A and B are shown apart, each in its own frame.
Chain A
Amino acid sequence: MERSWWWKAALYGVVTVLAVLYLIPTVVPEDKQPDFIKKHFQKRIQLGLDLQGGLHLVYEVNVDKAVASKVDRMSSDLEDRLRKDKGVADLTITREGRDDIVIAFKPPGDQVKLDDSILRDYRKALDIVARDPVAGVVRLRLEPDQVEEVRDYALRQGIETIRGRVDKFGVAEPTIIKKGTDIIVELPGLKSADFERIKSIIGRTAQLEFKIVDDGSEYMKKVAATVPKSDGKSGGIDVAPESWTEKDSGKPHEDVYLRSKNRDALMKFFDGLTGELAMPPDHEIGYEETQARGEDGQQTPDRYWRTYYLHKRAALTGEYLSNADQTWDQQTGRPEISFEFDRQGAAISERMTGDNIGRKMAILLDDKINSAPVIEGRIGARGRITLGGFGDPFALQQEAKDLVGVLRSGALPAPLRKTFETQVGPTMGRDSVDKAKFSMYIGAAAVVLFMLIYYRLSGIIANLAMILNLLYMVAILAAFEASLTLPGIAGLVLTIGMAVDANIIIYERIREELRMGKSVRTAVDGGFSRAFWTVFDAHVTNFVAGVVLYSYGSGPIRGFAVTLLVGIVTNLFTSYWLSHWMFDAVVGRRGSARATLSI
């Protein structure tokens, strides 16, 4: 053997050993794996949703609905201002289509009252597309980038809320991603019994609400008195007191709340209360997840859920917000959040906060309290939220930014619309895998037999190459942690059939060369080199089709495209170079070249 042959042997050996190592976590049960593997090779092939069972949902953001309601709100704001500030007595204001606001003034001359003092506030959102002084009609249109903004926020909010809801449900490995303007949710391994429940939870529109905390209530004191002393175990419930003073009047506030590491334990506790302790109909409990603070006010990694006793009615909701930003407190330099309500929102807020100075206002997104700041004064159109605690300023700023995100997206609830749904029970998957495996064995056996009968010794080489191809392919899929779908298995089976194609093309060429009376050595080398471009071109066209398939397909189809693409690449390697190397071993080098070849 020549030296280069041995170098190749070493290279192929290393590749094969690596492939086997990558394959072990997928094939060998975890308790039988050696420690070395567990430490360095944990990646494995995942079973796709169609094989494992689970739920695949695609939602589209109903942007039209969100935009239309945004325009509706602007129209009623405009109407309000024209009537009250400008004294326009008679006007009709309507939304046309999704984006247009048409205002008809009577008398027509009143249209001048829609002047810059009003329009200034809408300059980022609305354009005047037509103004007819004679008829007294003005047409305004929402700027196109506003639509994109709505879509963008709605998508982000959608993904965030779905993630939050799914996490609450405890699904093992959820995938929640954005694809174009769609949100794709994949919940593998979900039990069939949970499908309905989780679908209805995911599909709900997230809501941002402001509710007043009813502190110092007799009810909470009574409830707190019935809570048994916690034994300190997780899931136990504690009673904790809290107190603060009003900033201006110095009036003290005292309250008690319940806390636990387990939200469900708290919910169960309140659900179980009856009789005198039953929840008053106009109140409810809100839950907030907070980080425990140490003695020094620094946050500790411990997280727990705490309760707030809330007035049930939410007079103020996220839709009244027009803007929110993270800013800095001029005096203390701490991060804070400033927000603006629109006119109607300002009126409600003024009434609501004015009546409750010194109390806390809970900000709820999706039934979960994000923050509950103390109301320090009457809040009209503009307000600020200062975050409590003395934590690391960077962490506080992050917290502030998160809250801004919540407030901004809450301003535009865009409903989600389900466009695609696949749910697969686990048994369906298992049956399919067994059947697919069986057909794979039959097909492989047919191919192996054919190659043996038709090409004899060279057939063995082709079969070896095909088996190595499968090995490399599956190892690469494992290394990428690709998920194997039913069409993906079809891709594997198909690869078995295609793997020997290159060998057939090369072998037929070698036979031709031999028929022309060339020596075995020359025939083998000639066959391989002359067939190379044919084989290469064939692989490229397959690859092109695979790439198109990958970019077009979704879910299971993508799994097929991935196996196909990986298979094409490994196949070129095994059926050409690796086979050539094996031939070199069989044929020998010039000195010892054999006279005949079993092909």
Chain B
Amino acid sequence: MPAQNQQQKFFEIIKPGSTYEFIGKQRYWIGLSIILVTLTAVILPLNAYVFKSRGHMLNWGVDFRGGSEILLEFSRPVEASEIRKTLADVGFADADVVKYADPTGKKQWNYMVRVGAVSVVSEQQAKQIQESLAKEGEANLKRFEWSEGGDKLYLRYDRPVEPALLQSSLKALGVNTNQVQGFGRADENTYEVTLVGLDTEIRHALDARLGAGAVAAIPSVESVGAKAGKQLQYDGARSLLYAILLIMVYIAFRFDLRYGPGTVVALLHDAVITVGAFAVTYKEFSLTTVAAVLTIIGYSMNDTIVVFDRIRENATRLRDRRFDRVVNQSINETLSRTIWTSATVFFVTFAMNVFGVGVIRDFAFALNVGVIVGTYSSIFIASPILIWLNDKYVVSQRKQGPGRNPRRQRDELEPET
């Protein structure tokens, strides 16, 4: 091969012509993956049933769990226990109160409060209110409805009641309302009670205990009905499946059927281990995390495609070599780009993880894990499966008749230099 110009020197960290043995040692690497996946499978139930302080498989965000998440900013020093006690007094015994780091670091007394309720009136409280109301007044309470969405009550009486009076008797029972109005037909004597928002109720309770103005601000509130939460969980799982399926179809179409399953197992592997990282660290697993996992699924394909493309190219060129050797050589040849493409993404996501706030931070954490696992899986998961399928496939082809090359080739006609 005559050189047309003198050999150039490049700045290389991973030298070309490397002959690392990936495939020969695959059992160790696959073993590591199996350990990680098993660890995920074990830690999930452990979180739910054994670790008392955790209590759920994953630290579901409110968007999945249902309930409300409220950020509180206090104007004076407050202890978490005090907040918890105040909340328990107004009926939120399950309140989860954690100190929350303010992004600017200026305000010190920030707390994140999480309660299971989305409404100021829980189902039990609703029953008590019903009983108390039934005893009161001249009109008989015929029906009492508490809508699970939480912000309303429906009361039906046997005769007309003055809404203002109803409002004040509810107030006497400790139920703060925004409005009471007639609902439905006039002769049905049904009244729609609009309750005050959860955040307002909590603010009032805290101000009452700690002195007016103790709650300086409520920077954010998120609340999700339990049903909507279930729906979101379901949608999230479904979208992950769709993404994986579509990608598999594309790969099968662009390469051939043997390349599909390896990619899918690799993607599932990446998704599972990322979830596992959230189970171990017990970081909040929210809608944004699902978005991150979907991104990982799309992105971790990049490395697999780079490797697979080279395998396909080499398989045509080096037809006389054993397929697993071809794969090992292809991985070596593409090692540098596999690592550096992942590295650049890792740089930026790591920066987001370190310097970002809130949602961004968890998002970046998921990507950090996903990028590492995704790079690893394209070498140690996707490729071995491809070899395994190829062996089965080629063997069955040989049985049918020799001399048939099952592969689709794109680069076949290109001259070799």
Contacts and interface: CB of A to CB of B under 8 A. Distances in A.
A548 B248 CA distance: 14
Interface stretch (A39-47, A146-154, A198-206, A219-227): A198-206
Interface stretch (B45-53, B165-173, B184-192): B184-192
Contacts of B125: none
Given A413-B183, A537-B309, A435 B301 contact: no
B220 A517 contact: no
B2 to A, nearest CB: 7
Interface string B353-385: 011111110011001000000000000000000
Contact of B243 (A413, A540, A548, A560): A548
A431 B103 contact: yes
A203 B194 contact: yes
Contacts of A413: 183-184
A293 interface: no
Given A435-B356, A543-B298, A205 B192 contact: yes
A319 B247 contact: no
B181 interface: yes
Interface in A162-213: 192, 195-196, 199-200, 203-205, 207
A180 to B, nearest CB: 10
Contact of A519 (B4, B186, B349): B4
B363 A490 contact: yes
Would you call the interface of chain A mostly helix, strand, loop, or mixed?
A: helix
A427 B186 contact: no
Contacts of A544: 243, 246-247, 250, 298
B341 A505 contact: yes
Contact of B221 (A204, A423, A549): A423
A204 B291 contact: no
A546 B347 CA distance: 21
A26 interface: no
B197 A419 contact: no
Interface in A447-465: 447, 450-451, 453-456
Interface stretch (A127-135, A399-407, A493-501): A493-501
A358 to B, nearest CB: 23
Contacts of A515: 7-8, 16
Interface residues of B, number: 105
A192 B291 contact: no
Contact of B197 (A196, A522, A548): A196
Interface in B221-265: 221-225, 227-228, 235-236, 238-239, 242-243, 246-247, 250-251, 254
Interface in B135-191: 147-152, 154, 178-179, 181-188
A183 B108 CA distance: 38
Nearest to A210: B186
B219 interface: yes
Nearest to B70: A423
Nearest to A505: B337
A58 interface: yes
Contact of B5 (A62, A517, A551, A557): A517
A210 to B, nearest CB: 10
A291 interface: no
A69 interface: yes
B390 interface: no
A514 B186 CA distance: 88
A490 B352 contact: yes
Contacts of A436: 352, 356-357, 360
B217 interface: yes
Contact of A494 (B247, B345, B417): B345
A254 interface: no
Interface stretch (A92-100, A232-240, A309-317): A309-317
Nearest to B243: A548
B271 to A, nearest CB: 11
Given A435-B360, A519-B5, A415 B291 contact: no
Given A442-B355, A447-B344, A542-B301, A425 B219 contact: yes
28 contacts: A62-B147, A195-B221, A205-B181, A314-B182, A319-B185, A415-B183, A418-B151, A419-B149, A419-B227, A421-B224, A428-B219, A432-B357, A435-B103, A436-B360, A454-B340, A490-B352, A494-B348, A497-B347, A508-B336, A512-B333, A518-B4, A537-B250, A541-B250, A541-B251, A541-B298, A544-B246, A548-B243, A596-B6
Given A417-B147, A497-B344, A516-B1, 8 more contacts: A205-B192, A415-B152, A417-B149, A424-B219, A435-B357, A450-B340, A500-B341, A516-B417
The 9 A-B pairs at the shortest CB distance, nearest first, are namely: A545-B298, A443-B348, A417-B149, A200-B178, A443-B351, A552-B239, A497-B348, A517-B3, A497-B345
